[in-house]
Amino acid sequence: MAEAIVDPGSGQHSLKRVIGRKVLLVFVVGDILGAGIYALAGKVAGQVGGALWVPFLVAFVLAALTATAYAELVGKYPQAAGAALYANKAFNIPFVTFIVAFAVLMSGITSASAAARAFGGDYLGEFVTLPVVVGAFIFLGLIALVNFAGISESIKVNVVLTIIEAFGLLVIIAIGIFALLSGDGDPGRALEFHPANGAFLGVLGGTALAFYALLGFEDSVNLAEEAKEPQRDFPRALFGGLAVAAIIYMGVAFTATMLVDTKTLTDSSGPLLEVVKVAGLTFPPKLFALIALLAVGNTALINMLMASRLVYGMAREGIVPRVFASVHPTRSTPWVAIVFTVGVAAVLVATGDVGDLADTTVLLLLCVFTLVNVAVLVLRKDRVDHDHFRAPSWMPVLGAVVCFVLALPITGRGGDVYLRAAVLLVIGVVLWFVNRLFLSEGQSSEGQSPS
């Protein structure tokens, strides 16, 4: 955990800069790897009909465009607030800033809900037979308990799970290498391309879904205040982490389609387990299922930690009702915020499947990314007194266009995904106005003199 120090100039506490480039790189890679590839490889394969690695490659290129905007902004404003900070500086409209922050918050909850559905599927089925929703609810309860236990305990669990989830993906790549060397599988199948909706829409739909597996990179900007040299280290860690994750994902994707037919992958809620079961290189399926469950758990834990702390932070700042800032007297955790975020996640789990919930996550963040790409261009007029990475202008411009296009219905995204995203944002709008109403009433009461 970071230590707090006192700024001699302002007398205020600030975070200690202790994180170097290597730790940043590990954090970015660990934040990206997770439930996306473990749960959605089959869904993406269904979009393109074979060449599963193509959408992941395209998603990496498109994510890199937006990463340039984040790299410039985090170097320019090395503070731990991310997209909401950039929106506030660029547009200075409190409601827009709030909606951006709330969209990021809800994207974390929908991502955790997708992970919960994935947890309750075929991976859990290796050990016990339960309805998916029941398994998902049990999973959310466990995540809530870890979150409630305390941030120190949660971070320790996260570090262990990150190592485990990376190991599981390396096992799949090792299986693929062994298969190629021994002549097993069908490498040609990994080059087949039979999209159901035509080449362009197939790749577009697959890319929009594959984007979910690369979304973690934007979380790293929240470490800006704890990095030793954010202006120099963040761009390298950000692009390096994306590249490492993309290579791992493409290796996993190539192996999956080489060894397992597209229909089996598409129909499975545990697609990488299907790879292990047919592998020539023996690896216990139950052990891999356990690794996958822990990887999915790590994604949900990170997301629910972020979501509950965001709600708590908003309440502390008086942006949403202050009841969400309540802290448990013994555990020192924001228990009301945790209950709220888990409650929303439970409703989402009961009303959507893995693909739809992942797509809702992507939709919310694509809207945020569009705004961040615009913000970096707007803020070019704002000069700072230190050197920082500057993205070539065409990259955030193209990034904004790409994110906007991927957010459109032409990707094949269902209307229920847009409805779910809209309802989640409406919850935020209601909280915003309820809070302003109570604040106004409180100020009016204070302004009245006693008779």
Q: Tens digits of per-residue pLDDT, 220-271?
A: 666 555 567 767 778 888 888 888 888 999 999 999 888 888 888 888 888 8
Listing DSSP states for 86-123 in one string gives: HHHHHH--HHHHHHHHHHHHHHHHHHHHHHHHHHTTHH
State mean pLDDT over 185-196.
76
CA pair distance 302, 63, nearest whole angstrom: 20
Q: What are phi and psi of 15, to 5 degrees?
A: -80, 145
User: Is residue 298 within 8 Å of 158, Cβ to Cβ?
Assistant: yes
**What pLDDT is attached to residue 396?**
93
Strands (E), 237-358: none
**HSE-CB for 97 with a 13 A CA cutoff:** 16
Closest CA to 56 of 259, 263, 188, 248: 248
**What pLDDT is attached to residue 236?**
85
- Residue 333 DSSP label: S
Q: How far is CA 364 from CA 211, 345, 408, 424, 425, in A?
A: 12, 15, 12, 10, 9
Task: Return the H-helix or E-strand segment holding 6.
Answer: strand 4-6
- Residue 50 DSSP label: S
The partner residues of 6 in beta bridges, in order of sequence, read 13
Model-level pTM? 0.83
Output 151 or 121, whichever has higher pLDDT: 121
The token duo for 423 is 């309802």
Share of the chain above pLDDT 70, in %: 86
**What pLDDT is attached to residue 209?**
81
Output 329 or 153, whichever has higher pLDDT: 329
Q: What are phi and psi of 383, to 5 degrees?
A: -90, 145
231: left (phi over 0), alpha (psi -120 to 50) or beta: alpha
The token duo for 179 is 């298969």
User: Is residue 422 within 8 Å of 407, Cβ to Cβ?
Assistant: no
Share of the chain above pLDDT 90, in %: 18
User: Is residue 175 within 8 Å of 283, Cβ to Cβ?
Assistant: yes
User: Is residue 312 within 8 Å of 320, Cβ to Cβ?
Assistant: no
**Using 50, 70 and 90 to split pLDDT, how confident is the model at 110?**
very high
Question: Does residue 422 carry a pLDDT above 90?
Answer: yes
CA pair distance 249, 36, nearest whole angstrom: 10
Query: Which residue type occupies 173?
Result: I
**What pLDDT is attached to residue 21?**
65
The token duo for 430 is 């209601």
386: left (phi over 0), alpha (psi -120 to 50) or beta: beta
Query: Which residue type occupies 408?
Result: L
Query: Is CATH 1.20.1740.10 the right assignment for the domain spanning 17-382+392-436?
Result: yes
The partner residues of 172 in beta bridges, in order of sequence, read none
CA pair distance 276, 289, nearest whole angstrom: 9
The token duo for 349 is 């789990």
**What pLDDT is attached to residue 121?**
86
Query: Which residue type occupies 404?
Result: F
Question: Does residue 350 carry a pLDDT above 80?
Answer: yes
The token duo for 307 is 């979501």
